[in-house]
A and B are shown apart, each in its own frame.
Chain A
Amino acid sequence: MKILSLFISPLLALIIGLLFLGISRKITAKIHWRCGPPVYQPLIDVIRSFSQKSISHGAFFDFGIILSLSSSVVLIYFLPVGDLYAMTSGGLIAFLYLMLLGPFGIALSSAASGNPNSSIGVSRKFLLALAYEVPLLLVLLTVMTHYNTISLVEIVNIQAGTGMAFSSWALVLPGIAYFLILPAVLGVRPFEIVSAPQEISSGPVAEFGGKHLAFYTLQHALQLFVGLALFVNIFLGGGTLFGLLNPIAGTVWATILGIIIFLVKMFIVLVIELFINAVYPRFRIEQAMRYLWKWPTLIAFVGLVIVAILN
């Protein structure tokens, strides 16, 4: 199972990520009262980008985007999708560390491209990361304290053991805090400051064309998958649903159904994020930092205090 999941989980993440990108474009179009592109439109875009000749700006330009994509693939291995996981060790600490490598690779290659818009985009990206890392670290610290473990798989298993999809009431406040910063983690509309096409010509990817753009799109799809899957794993109980799958636990059907439940949960979170995305305009960077360091941080901190008292 573990060896199989080494191949299946990145593939699944890529397909689901691209599908979610397509669905998000379709749903946004429906909110705008448009017909919208077909859901496989991102796949067409990726094929087109691969068919185009790309212009390289040096070795670091190529290396950075490869680093970003590969680190995202490695990130998938740390992430249990239902029963489908490759490693049980490592856990949240390694996960947090690897989560920074994706933006770092993009920053590396856009610095090599020498476009001023790219440098502005990269500086915005790191400022935004600085802003959302504080509440994110508080939330994850709360989770680790509450469950007394750093392993993602164990966290999911404990949630399955209680028979509840939603975690214990002590984690409600951190859950709210994570949900408030989720648009910033995913980089959707209120926090679309990094790749603002109208301001800084799509920011870090301003010089990406052809195959580089295709790799970036794949990396973006993986990042979307990771951001949603982490939320589902920690707060929504992963691939379990009120102990529904307990009677057939251990069979292949249970694994497949677990994955499907997991994806449905991800989809629901995505749709809620899309509604926010379609309605809100874009923050300025200092507005985003003020928001992220005020309410989510406060809620996460209160949650941490509650969990610490309970323990």
Chain B
Amino acid sequence: MEELKKKLLAYFTDLTIQIHDDYRMCINTQKETVVSLLNYLKNMGYEHFALLSCIDWIDKGEFELIYILSAYMEVCDKYQEKEQGIIIIKARISRDDAKVISVINVFENAEPYERELHEMFGIKFEGHPRLTPLMLEREYEIPPFRKDFDTLKYVDNTFGKIPSIEERKANYERT
């Protein structure tokens, strides 16, 4: 891990790297660097794109995107270069203008994750071929995983507004 940290710091300028224990490295970076960083790490042998997630920091007005990479266990000559462990890459983007470049060109399996984040947080991934709804049936004014989405109010306004069959029948007979 230490070796990798040195290599990364030599190659990229805008990184802050912490190593939490022997197997976990946390990299804070800018959103412009993410694609080239992922590309570099993929060539280093970290081929498994495990997760793309997001945290809503509503006080700071920022989304924090989290990319998690790991390497497959493999005993070969390159073992010294390719150290086992998890690499967590964090990049912050503005909450009002949530746009980021898609990483599909590097890792193809990021596609459903990006669709999900687009659906749940409203983040626009530039270069993604189809940002269509993935899981939700309805459309929401505010994407439902944002912190300013009031679930209780939403439930009262949509599911609560639907009358029971008896009420609807009574209304129908009254009119």
Classify A-B as touching or not with yes or no (CB < 8 A). no
Q: Which residues of B contact A (CB under 8 A)?
A: none
Q: Which residues of A contact B (CB under 8 A)?
A: none
